[in-house]
Amino acid sequence: MAVLHIENRDNLELPVDASVSILTLLVRSGVPIPNRCGGHARCGLCRITFVAGLAHASPRTPHEEHFAREAGLPPEVRLACQTRLAGNAVIRIGQSRSPD
């Protein structure tokens, strides 16, 4: 089974569920992650940074593509509400290259 590893939440590991967004997976698992727009790619608060496994992430949705262009997000920074996973990945919650 594929695993989502969260570096800056005590290296928590969650089983991947490809049927839901990463935001839903985190919220459902009780992992705190900021979000305000109801998962519509508007607030940008649900940013996550991929450390590994970006190839297993779904492509940006049109809404995320628009937000990412406006905000100048690098490819490894994704909106958890717009991203699904299909394999192992390591992320940090937030837009960061170093552990919190």
60 and 84 in contact (C-beta within 8 Å)? Answer: no
Rounded CA separation 20/39 (Å):
12
Q: Which is nearer to ligand FES, 37 or 86 (CB)?
A: 37
The DSSP 8-state label assigned to residue 57 in this structure reads B
Binding mask 5-34 for ligand FES (x = CB under 6 A): ------------------x-----------
Q: Which is nearer to ligand FES, 22 or 51 (CB)?
A: 22
The residues, ordered by sequence, that sit 6+ positions from 1 with a Cβ below 8 Å of its Cβ are 15, 16
Name the minimum Å distance from CB 66 to ligand FES: 11
The DSSP 8-state label assigned to residue 58 in this structure reads P
Count CB atoms within 10 A of the CB of residue 99. Answer: 9
Q: Which residue is nearest to ligand FES (CB)?
A: 81
Residue from 39, 73, 83, 91 binding ligand FES (CB under 6 A): 39
Instruction: List residues binding ligand FES (CB under 6 A).
Output: 23, 35-37, 39, 41-46, 79, 81
